[in-house]
Chains A and B, each alone.
Chain A
Amino acid sequence: MTAQSISSEAMLDLRGVESCYGNIVALKKVDLTVNRGEIVTLIGANGAGKSTLMMTIFGTPRARKGQIIYEGRDIAGLPAHEVARLGIAQSPEGRRIFARMSVYENLLMGAALGDPSSTAGDLERVFAIFPRLKERLTQRGGTLSGGEQQMLAIARALMTRPRLLLLDEPSLGLAPLVVKQIFDVIRDLNRRDGLTVFLVEQNAYHALRLAHRGYVIVNGRITMSGTGAELLARPEIRAAYLEGGH
């Protein structure tokens, strides 16, 4: 990984974050840092708490303990829509496309916050990244293929002009070729535009190859961290997440 614009300045810093669903503690004392300009991935098995971590950053569920420092400010406890207004965008698990609205309308929802005069330029930028969406502009979101829906979810998030992009399992249910396309886009966004990315993945191999650094979450606890290459080399990672070989 080239690391041209990565600083050691923490953009997002989770300190001892805990969150719960009722009585069930889903995150236990999570410490995690995303530096400006980095791609950081969080890998873990089903139900480990990856999505919970991402949603906690967005305020639902609320962090019961700990701090979520974003650009020097504790955002734990802010409602989701205010978090989004701070320049954090999220492509949630399962894409959550507005199924009955057109691709175009979906993209405009991403632009709902911003200055309308910049919308056209933002659209142009997004179409340059995903030319496929431009072809599908009038099609209803729900009728897109899985890969196109994922592109739309990312594009919609990009329309909010984020400085930090959170992606929850973008590879879920996609064919290997499409996964590669999506990951290439993430890499490009990071390298070219300097976008900071926090990527939640089950597809550990691809995610660790892409990311500068990674964290492993097991049962709501961070158990390992390191650079992507380091983690890939670890035998316990290979055993637990890369079984069946790539």
Chain B
Amino acid sequence: MPDAAASDAVPSKTQNRFIAALRDAAFVGLITAGLSFPLIALRAEADMNNHLELQQRWSWLVSATIAMAASRFIASIFDRLVARIVGVTGVWLILFAGGTAYYATDTHPGVIAGCVLAGLIAIGLAAALNRSSVDAGRTETRPAEPSRFYRLDTSGGSLAGNLISIAALGCAIAFPLVVLAWLGPQGSLKWINNYGVQILIYVMLGWGLNIVVGLAGLLDLGYVAFYAVGCYAYALLATKFGLSFWLCLPLAGVLAAFWGILLGFPVLRLRGDYLAIVTLAFGEIINIVLTNWVDLTNGDAGIPSIPRITFFGLPFTAADDGFAARFGIEFSPIHRNIFLFYLILALALLTNFVTLRLRRLPIGRAWEALREDEIACRSLGINTTSTKLTAFALGAMFGGFAGAFFAVRQGFVNPNSFTFSESASILAMVVLGGMGSQIGVALAAAVMIGGTELLRELDFLKVLFGAAFDPSQYRMLIFGFGMVAMMIWKPRGLVSTRSPSIFLKQRKAIAGALVKEGHG
């Protein structure tokens, strides 16, 4: 059926596609209904007198039919495997919400709304994923390309890699809802806030720094400066001028990027150690300025009562015009945290998406080439100055976004959040994750931040070591051991294989990594 649609004329192609998908879905729905009639809808059960009794479960049949038909519809309307998986996940989330609302009527409405929202986001994401593959396909089949051999496949990564990313993404999307459903609003706060949001902030910072360090190979020890710029940008703009977060977020990014370029200019000629020292100094300068420019920043005392996040204008308060009241659900502080979680998740994904996209474009390849050999780059006509500046500016911009988010989440900022040890931690995530690997950096952030938080949980150790024992005191020791272990077993980071950003369609199985470096 989809084949028939595909061979049709171009203008009505999408429409036909839609109809074909509907037909597909109806067909699958019919089969499901037919099969589940004897298997699910009718059920024989022995009653108290041991007589067989026929139970009828029509709602089960309807649920199964809807689930299968909807899944089939999504699967046949998208071409790309990734889009299909994400889309079907979204459908199931929505169905799950519907089912819960129908069967478990006492379920918290927030959970149901959240599920539906997540489902819709997933379907939207699937459509976006599919769209981008269609666009790629369009450029791929340009007539300018003379032979099949040179068709470029920029999808990058292996299928397994994609599946892992999708699974990780699915887990991240479902995380707050699962935790909320499981532990309730009280118990889940810690998990969503201390673990989820905290880890995602560092994932985003790690991904931002990864552009500078991992891809462009510019060792930046003062990344936290841009985080600080973004953070104070929102804090000051919001408290002094009353600008809203949604306006300040891009402004914070632009300001941080501006500072990135400003720092970039003088240090462009430097590499390696020298660059590291200058960026380190820059980080310290920003910190000292924030501490001492008391008129503007209020110094060490910090900026209090920064406006909190709103749901696109609706505050997360118990008031009548608050988020909870508008949506007719009971007020709970957890709503704000869930929203913050999805916000930072979206920001981190944006960072990731932009990075992955750019890696496949000439500018991204130029970053990596710059990391490998600057002289060769110049002799190939690459403007190393502007290449470095874009890396710096882009990395700084994402740092700025993260900073604005940090400010709106904390509601209070002071310079103590932007010390060198923050820069060092973020850099450690990039290095431990395997320079340039997105998944590796995320993993390292999760392990390092999550691990720190987990240490606080290990109270039961007090039974063994006495009441004075505080496991979180051992954070640095464990971190040190971890570093040493990494040096020994995985010196190039958790995910050390670099997958090319571009392939030809016909991939040859030459295990490059297995062939020793040769000379002659």
Contacts and interface: CB of A to CB of B under 8 A. Distances in A.
A112 B382 contact: yes
23 contacts: A81-B378, A82-B381, A84-B378, A96-B375, A100-B372, A101-B372, A104-B500, A104-B502, A108-B362, A112-B362, A113-B380, A121-B146, A123-B150, A124-B146, A124-B147, A138-B500, A138-B508, A139-B512, A139-B515, A143-B513, A143-B515, A145-B519, A173-B519
Given A124-B146, A124-B147, A174-B520, A58 B365 contact: no
Interface stretch (A27-35, A61-69, A85-93, A201-209): A85-93
B520 A173 contact: yes
Given A109-B366, A112-B382, 13 more contacts: A58-B378, A81-B383, A91-B379, A98-B368, A108-B365, A109-B369, A110-B380, A112-B362, A112-B365, A119-B150, A120-B147, A137-B504, A144-B518
B384 interface: yes
A140 B512 contact: yes
Contacts of B508: 135, 137-138
A101 B512 CA distance: 11
A138 B520 contact: no
Given A99-B372, A120-B144, A135-B508, A160 B520 contact: no
Given A102-B500, A105-B500, A160-B381, A145 B518 contact: yes
B60 interface: no
B501 A105 contact: yes
A145 B518 CA distance: 4
B145 interface: yes
B240 interface: no
A143 B510 CA distance: 11
B516 interface: yes
Task: Determine the interface band of chain A, counting residues with CB < 8 A from chain B.
Answer: 35 or more
A160 B382 CA distance: 11
A96 B144 contact: no
Interface string B484-520: 0000000000000010111110011010110111111
Contacts of B375: 92, 96
Given A140-B512, A174-B520, A89 B372 contact: no
- Of listed A112, A173, A175, A178, residue having the most chain B CB within 10 A: A112
A89 B520 CA distance: 24
Interface in A103-155: 104-105, 108-110, 112-113, 117, 119-121, 123-124, 135-140, 142-148
Nearest to A59: B378
A58 B516 CA distance: 33
B35 interface: no
A80 interface: yes
A187 B503 CA distance: 31
Nearest to B520: A146
Interface in B340-369: 362, 365-366, 368-369
A173 B513 CA distance: 23
A36 to B, nearest CB: 21
Given A104-B504, A105-B502, A137-B504, A80 B362 contact: no
B382 A109 contact: yes
Contacts of B518: 143-146, 148
Nearest to A86: B381
A54 B446 CA distance: 49
B502 A108 contact: yes
A109 B377 contact: yes
A26 interface: no
B517 to A, nearest CB: 5
Nearest to B498: A100
Given A102-B512, A123-B150, A81 B376 contact: no
A60 interface: yes
A99 B512 CA distance: 11
B373 interface: yes
B382 A81 contact: yes
A89 B146 contact: no
Contacts of A81: 378, 381-384
A85 B381 contact: yes
Interface in B458-477: none
Contact of B379 (A58, A104, A137, A143): A58
B369 A101 contact: yes
Contact of B376 (A96, A135, A146, A147): A96
Nearest to B379: A90
